[in-house]
Structure 1
Amino acid sequence: MSQYFRIDGRDVWNPSHGPATVFTRLAEAFVPLAGPSGIGVTPGDPDDHPIDGAAFAKFTDALVAEYRATSHPIQRALLEGFVATAAVLARRAGLALPALDGPAAVSSRDVPGGGAAGPDRLAELMAGYERAMPA
């Protein structure tokens, strides 16, 4: 059994039920940090997830910015898999993610002596995930 994710009508991911469920639940968990995700569910079809591109781009970009800015190793680890997955979906839909391409900010939750994550780590994860995410 699989689920379908479409951004503004464009198919971007067709994962099995397990990863799809984890992804949508994590998205809900990140709403207080990044705002509405834009991920919906088609009434009567819980396996279909239409996504509003503008909302998803804003949500994903906010999480990318947080991931890149924080020097807190646990904060970064908790964000990492979700952020890379969401960024792959956003890129597949042609959505802009300014926080991915620009310099990292500094988070108010920094840990002394830590450094912000550069774009290389996220790009590396995205490349690996891209190959493992059927559209």
Structure 2
Amino acid sequence: MSHSFSIDGPDVWNPSTGPGTLFTRLAEAFVPMAGPSGIGVTPGDPDDHPIDGATFAEFTDALITEYRATSHPIQRALLEGFAATAAVLARRGGLTLPALNGPAAVSFRDIPGDGAAGPDRLAELMAGHERAMPV
């Protein structure tokens, strides 16, 4: 059994059930922080997830913005795996993620910590995830 994720038609990921289920549940958990995910479920096929590209791009970009802005090491650690995975899917779907480039914003909700994350760490994670994510 596996899950299937597509963005505006084309398939972008076909993970096994464990990672697929975890990804969709984590997406739900991030909705209060980033807004609607755009990840749907095909009626009658709970393992098929059509994704609305525009909504998913906004959702993923908001998470990357938060990831790059936070100086809180735990907040960053909790965001980075999901954000990297979502960014790979977005790129495979041809979506634009402005938060991946340029300077990080500053989060005023944090405790003092390591400072904002540069784009290099997320790029490293994305490269590793890309290799491990079958289409």
Moved over 2 A (4+): none
CA-based RMSD of the aligned residues comes to: 0.7
* TM superposition score normalised by structure 2: 0.98
- 2:88 & 2:23 partners in 1: Cα distance? 13
SS in 1 for 2:12: strand
Displacement of 1:108 in angstroms is: 1.3
For the pair 1:105 / 2:105, whether they are aligned, the reply is: yes
SS in 2 for 1:39: coil
- 1:43 & 1:101 partners in 2: Cα distance? 37
Q: Which runs of 5+ in 2 are unaligned?
A: none
Identity %: 84
Listed one character per residue, the Cα deviations across residues 62-111 of structure 1 (whole Å, up to 9, x for unaligned) are: 00000000000010011011000000000001100000112100001232
- 2:111 & 2:56 partners in 1: Cα distance? 29
Aligned residues: 135
For the pair 1:61 / 2:61, whether they are aligned, the reply is: yes
AA of the residue aligned to 2:105: A
Listed one character per residue, the Cα deviations across residues 16-74 of structure 1 (whole Å, up to 9, x for unaligned) are: 00000000000000000000000000000011000000000000000000000000001
Displacement of 1:113 in angstroms is: 4.3
* TM superposition score normalised by structure 1: 0.98
